[in-house]
Structure 1
Amino acid sequence: MTVNQLTTDQSAETSAVTDERADLLETLAQHREFLRFTTRGLTDEQAGLRTTKSELCLGGLIKHVTAMEQAWVGFILEGPSAMPDFTSMTEEDFAHREAEFTMLPGETLAGVLDAYAEVARRTEEVVAGLADLNASWPLPKAPWFEGQPEWSARRVLLNILAETSQHAGHADIIREALDGAKTMG
């Protein structure tokens, strides 16, 4: 695929999407809301608390999902150059990625949620304007991508949806351990 085939059609509007892209975006929006809902009524301090043995906190999970979605949408538009070369990451690179999972000093839950909303808006804009969900790029180099030479825009969107859903489940466990609140039920 050429870059021109992967660029968005600026005349397309997200609200006008009525095909498979609409189903993907609607499902993704639903799972984003499950994730966001786990933070309802929390303070910044609570959003940064670890409630299990893992390093995960609610604000950190949302930061991670935000960064993941932003990177994969970049991949849809630009291919593997938008992603890190996972085979040559330094300790500093890994430390930066680990910081995605925590609330750093000065970060607020409102700021984290605003950043997530902005990435979601951008994803919806890009997907609405895609000419072809089959357009694909070679995957970046990473041990976990062996045997998968390329992904289509559709496959990337399914990956974003899967990661968002998985982390919404993590967030539900963290929230329940924090104060007993549940996303569902």
Structure 2
Amino acid sequence: MTVSETSTRNVAEALAVTGERADLLEMLAVQRHFLRLTTRDLTDEQARLRTTASALCLGGLIKHVTAVERSWAGFILHGPSTVPDFTAMTEADWARRADEFELLPGETLAGVLDDYADVSRRTDELVATLPDLSITHALPNAPWTEPGKRWSIRQVLMHIATETAHHAGHADIIRESLDGAKSMG
């Protein structure tokens, strides 16, 4: 049994879920595992490095995925009022948002990983305890969102897993460029 399988089983068992909810927890656990794995044995300085043409760094990716998951969990609980109206954001708002893609001075890799673990636990508790994954909310205003579109809690959870997998791929490329280490293969 792999580490991710053990972690997934422990999460599902600890939260006493089966079926669809266990499947969602497994999907989230596996993608989170691969994202976290890219940061193994790194110093804070290494986690700040940009090793590709992209402006992304490993510490920043962890911060971004944490912020995204936290935001979507708020959306699940309270609807679009908890998510920024991206169509109304100013340059200053976008500049502040850009900080979530960097490991800033004073921040540590261990600190952002701990924050990510806390957010992940809260999301997992939502998966286990929400009465109905079919409840929908209108999506927040954003240039990439179709006006009037609604998502169920289920769709939001699948989006969190997809977003995590997407950035785990980015992280794997950044890590391989840093020191040749790979998450897979």
2:177 match:
177
Query: Which contiguous aligned blocks of 4+ residues in structure 1 show a shift greater than 3 angstroms?
Result: none
Check whether the contact 1:14–1:125 (CA below 8 A) recurs between aligned residues: no
Give CA deviations for 1:37-92 in whole Å, capped at 9, x if unaligned: 00000000000000011110000000000000000010000000010011110111
Check whether the contact 1:14–1:128 (CA below 8 A) recurs between aligned residues: no
Q: What is the CA-CA distance between 1:19 and the residue it aligns to?
A: 2.2
Q: What is the CA-CA distance between 1:14 and the residue it aligns to?
A: 5.4
Identity, % of aligned pairs?
A: 68
1:157–1:14 CA distance, 2 compared to 1 (3 A): farther
Letter in 1 for 2:87: T
1:161 match:
161
Give CA deviations for 1:118-175 in whole Å, capped at 9, x if unaligned: 0000001111111111001111111211156110000000110100000000000000
Check whether the contact 2:136–2:151 (CA below 8 A) recurs between aligned residues: yes
1:116–1:99 CA distance, 2 compared to 1 (3 A): same
Check whether the contact 1:31–1:161 (CA below 8 A) recurs between aligned residues: yes
1:3 match:
none
- The total of aligned residue pairs comes to 173
Structure of higher RCO (CA pairs closer than 8 Å, 6+ residues apart)? 1
Give the distance between the partners of 2:159 and 2:14, measured in 1 at CA.
20
1:80–1:51 CA distance, 2 compared to 1 (3 A): same
1:148–1:37 CA distance, 2 compared to 1 (3 A): farther
Give the distance between the partners of 2:131 and 2:19, measured in 1 at CA.
12
Q: 1:1-185 maps to which residues of 2 (within 5 A)?
A: 15-147=15-147, 149-185=149-185
Q: Name the SS of the counterpart of 2:112 in structure 1.
A: helix
Query: TM-score, structure 2 length as denominator?
Result: 0.91
1:121–1:38 CA distance, 2 compared to 1 (3 A): same
Give the distance between the partners of 2:174 and 2:41, measured in 1 at CA.
14
Query: TM-score, structure 1 length as denominator?
Result: 0.91
Structure 1: where are the runs of 5+ without partners?
1-12
Structure 2: where are the runs of 5+ without partners?
1-12
Give the distance between the partners of 1:110 and 1:170, measured in 2 at CA.
20
Give CA deviations for 1:8-43 in whole Å, capped at 9, x if unaligned: xxxxx9521112011011111111000000000000
Cα RMSD (Å) of the superposition? 1.1
